[in-house]
Structure 1
């Protein structure tokens, strides 16, 4: 009998249930309010657990937001990779990958910007941040694969360009100049920057 097929014990099921309740409660509150106005006590109350129990799963409010956003970020990357696979042009494929990510982050702009900044500046050994950084690396790998799939860009150059495009994405989303702009406007800004990075001229007319 495979050990992987063994059912979870009661203790593990209880821990998993509490974690999912915390994730759901935090997600509901962060969908409605900025991270600065939500308290850990509110999340604990909504999850129907003691505040001390909450801290066993996430030590800070930032970690709770990262926990919630990681799930959304992962889905956005999956959607982007699927969309990009159906697109032939290199630039269009890159934009198809990035579009769901931009929507994800701008869905609640303050929390999305906070999330990205926390991934960059927070403790990379903290489990939820580590998970988020793994997702960011997956996005970068997806960009690298798209840039190099037609053979016109060498592997090393594709890797470097993917890193540059990731930086463009981050700055375009987190920069205060784009704070109140719609998704389509932010995507147009990103498109222009990526055109410059790839050395492509804008369409005429």
Structure 2
């Protein structure tokens, strides 16, 4: 008996090819012009598909932006979890591991500020049952879980407060990256703002994270 799954049929391959072309076209145009400077027709033309076909994959420009940004957001979280794991292995204090996780996320959001701000706004204000938003919200929850894993192993925090603090840190990231007052700041300046705010809500030294335990938790969550 053949245990290997059947290869996708011609129709499925064509559908996947169109999805890839649409995502690549959206990614390129959003990067070049920002979400406000791009129309869905331009994306359809760049992808060489009919506008009706594009709407089968994303019914609005906002949904298309979310589709594109989700992929980048997922990569940033993966990179952040790896950096946090390395920091924990090196015995970094809690704030060091937190910033290791946060830095790639900030870089992703601020790569094209208009796109990043619109993406986060659409995630929290749009229909959470819409598939692309649901995926984006799941990524946000994964980021929050990663933060909680770091905070849980701080002996001055512990599991009872870790998830509440992780939500506070997530809120700090969200507000600081999209606030108009920080619009013209560099990712490094944004990260420093986040560092100051997170440091203010964390228990003070001398204690840091337990490197071995946190490394294990982060490794398990990243698999």
Tell me the CA shift for residue 154 of structure 1: 2.3
For 1:8, what is the secondary structure of its paired residue? coil
For 1:86, what is the secondary structure of its paired residue? helix
Q: Give the corresponding residue for 2:137.
A: 133
Tell me the CA shift for residue 114 of structure 1: 0.3
Q: Give the corresponding residue for 1:2.
A: 3
Tell me the CA shift for residue 184 of structure 1: 1.1
For 1:172, what is the secondary structure of its paired residue? helix
Looking at both structures, which has the greater relative contact order when contacts are Cα pairs under 8 Å and sequence separation is at least 6?
2
Cα separation, partners in 2 of 1:128 and 1:53, compared to 1, 3 Å: same
Structure 1 segments, 4+ long, off by >6 Å, are none
Q: Structure 2: 5+ residue runs without aligned partners?
A: 206-223
For 1:92, what is the secondary structure of its paired residue? helix
TM-score, normalising length from structure 1?
A: 0.94
Alpha-carbon separation, structure 2, partners of 1:94 and 1:10 = 46
Alpha-carbon separation, structure 2, partners of 1:73 and 1:132 = 8
RMSD after superposition: 1.1
Tell me the CA shift for residue 153 of structure 1: 2.0
Q: Structure 1: 5+ residue runs without aligned partners?
A: none
One of 153, 157, 181 as aligned partner of 2:157: 153
For 1:36, what is the secondary structure of its paired residue? helix
One of 102, 108, 119 as aligned partner of 1:104: 108
TM-score, normalising length from structure 2?
A: 0.87
Q: Encode CA deviations 1:29-51: one digit per residue, 9 max, x unaligned.
A: 00111211100000000000000
Please list, as runs of the form range in 1=range in 2, the aligned pairs for 1:1-205 lying within 5 A after superposition: 1-2=2-3, 5-87=5-87, 88-200=92-204
Count of paired positions: 200
